[in-house]
């Protein structure tokens, strides 16, 4: 790998479901530790790392579990689930010697710090992995949108979506063996073809702020660090040259 990362400051978006391991719901400590090790490898390259984790392993606002619950309330419940995941990940990072803190878009002063852009940038520059929780702090917005927003606010060089596959496909490659894999896409192609890489608000935010989006696997050991270093296997979404 090169001495310096290609992307100096990144925002990594992970799904909450990725922390479940083989469990039907909740947090698997071994999976959290494994993921923390992948994040540590990126930081060890010299990259500054922000992290957003969804809450779908605990509660998802738009789900059967939320049936009968008013949408705003359900969304706040989902945001609190992201705080639980963020605390678990930050703790796992610290256990591996990585300085880390949680900043929430919803004020929870007893549990973690409230998000401010200035403080978040200062912590990133100091070498902390900052785990952004609580979504945008508002209902009706997904954690995808929160990831794009925090990436734009903190001046990230790339927004990386960690998934179970090695890029963007036109169908689920686990269900469709001949699904087409894309090496490169434009933001407009993602939006027009409804490829569901991230929600449309997140993609639009990334496009408006010229933040390249990289989609790669977080289940392949060392792959995340390879991608940040400029190698590895991924799909990149950016403006056409």
Q: In this structure, are residues 108 and 165 in contact, taking their beta carbons and an 8 Å threshold?
A: no
The mean pLDDT of 103-107, rounded to a whole number, is 97
| pLDDT, tens digit (0-9, with 9 covering 90-100), for 31-73 | 999 999 999 999 999 999 999 999 999 987 666 666 789 989 9
Given a contact cutoff of 8 angstroms between Cβ atoms, the answer to whether 136 and 149 are in contact is yes
Average pLDDT value for residue range 100-123: 98
Is residue 174 one of the residues assigned to a domain?
yes
pLDDT digits (tens, 9 = 90+) for 195-238: 989 999 999 999 999 999 999 999 899 999 999 999 999 999 99
Rounded to 5 degrees, φ, ψ at 49 are -125, 125
**Where is 125: in which H helix or E strand?**
helix 117-125
For residue 105, being part of any structural domain is answered with yes
- What is the structure's pLDDT at 35? 97
> What confidence score (pLDDT) does residue 200 get?
94
Calculate mean pLDDT across residues 104-130.
98
- Contact between 30 and 69 (Cβ < 8 Å): no
pLDDT at 47: 98
DSSP 223: H
Tokens of 187: 């933001």
CATH code for the domain of 97: 3.40.1160.10
Structure-model confidence comparison of residues 11 and 24, the more confident one: 11
pLDDT for the residue numbered 75: 92
Ramachandran class of 239: left when φ > 0, alpha when ψ lies in -120 to 50, beta otherwise: beta
Contact 10/47 with Cβ under 8 angstroms?
Answer: yes
Residues 69-84, mean pLDDT to the nearest whole number? 93
Q: Is 220 left (phi over 0), alpha (psi -120 to 50) or beta?
A: beta
In the structure encoding, which two tokens stand for residue 189, read together?
A: 């192609």
Count each helix (H run) and each strand (E run) in the chain, helices first.
7, 11
Q: In this structure, is residue 2 part of a structural domain? A: no
What is the model's pLDDT at position 4? Answer: 79
Q: How many domains does the chain have?
A: 1
pLDDT of residue 24: 86
Write out pLDDT tens, residues 141-192.
999 999 999 999 999 999 999 998 999 998 888 899 899 999 999 999 999 9
> Global pTM?
0.94
Does the residue 160 lie in any domain? yes
pLDDT at 3 (0 to 100): 58
Say what the pLDDT of residue 182 is: 95
- Whether 182 maps to a domain, the answer reads yes
Q: What share of the chain is helix, strand, coil (3-state, %, to 5)?
A: 35, 20, 45
DSSP 186: -
Instruction: State residue 228 phi and psi, 5-degree precision.
Output: -65, -30
Reply yes or no on whether the pLDDT at 2 is more than 80: no
Residue 99 sits in which domain range? 9-237
Q: Is residue 1 part of a domain?
A: no
Asked, for residue 4, whether it belongs to a domain, the answer is no
Q: What gap in Å lies between CA 185 and CA 190, rounded to an integer?
A: 7
The alpha carbon of residue 190 and the mean position of all alpha carbons in its chain are separated, in whole angstroms, by: 18
């Amino acid at each position: 790998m090169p001495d310096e990362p290609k992307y100096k400051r990144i925002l990594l978006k992970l799904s909450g479901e990725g922390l479940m391991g083989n469990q039907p719901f909740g947090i698997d400590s071994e999976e959290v530790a494994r993921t923390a090790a992948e994040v540590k490898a990126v930081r060890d390259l010299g990259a500054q790392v922000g992290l957003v984790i969804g809450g779908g392993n605990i509660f998802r606002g738009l789900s059967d579990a939320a049936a009968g619950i008013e949408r705003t309330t359900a969304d706040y419940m989902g945001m609190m689930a992201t705080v639980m995941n963020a605390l678990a990940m930050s703790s796992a990072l610290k256990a591996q010697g990585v300085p880390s803190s949680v900043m929430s878009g919803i004020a929870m002063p007893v549990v973690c710090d409230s998000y401010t852009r200035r403080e978040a940038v200062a912590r990133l520059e100091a070498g902390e992995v900052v785990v952004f929780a609580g979504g945008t702090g508002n209902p009706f917005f997904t954690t995808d949108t929160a990831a794009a927003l925090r990436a734009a606010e903190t001046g990230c060089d790339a927004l990386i979506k960690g998934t179970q596959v090695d890029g963007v496909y036109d169908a689920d490659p686990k269900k469709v063996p001949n699904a087409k894999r894309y090496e490169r896409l434009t933001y407009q192609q993602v939006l027009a073809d409804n490829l569901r890489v991230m929600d449309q608000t997140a993609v639009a935010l990334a496009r408006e702020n010229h933040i390249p989006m990289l989609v790669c696997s977080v289940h392949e050991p060392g792959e995340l660090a390879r991608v940040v270093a400029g190698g590895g296997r991924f799909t990149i979404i950016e403006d056409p040259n």
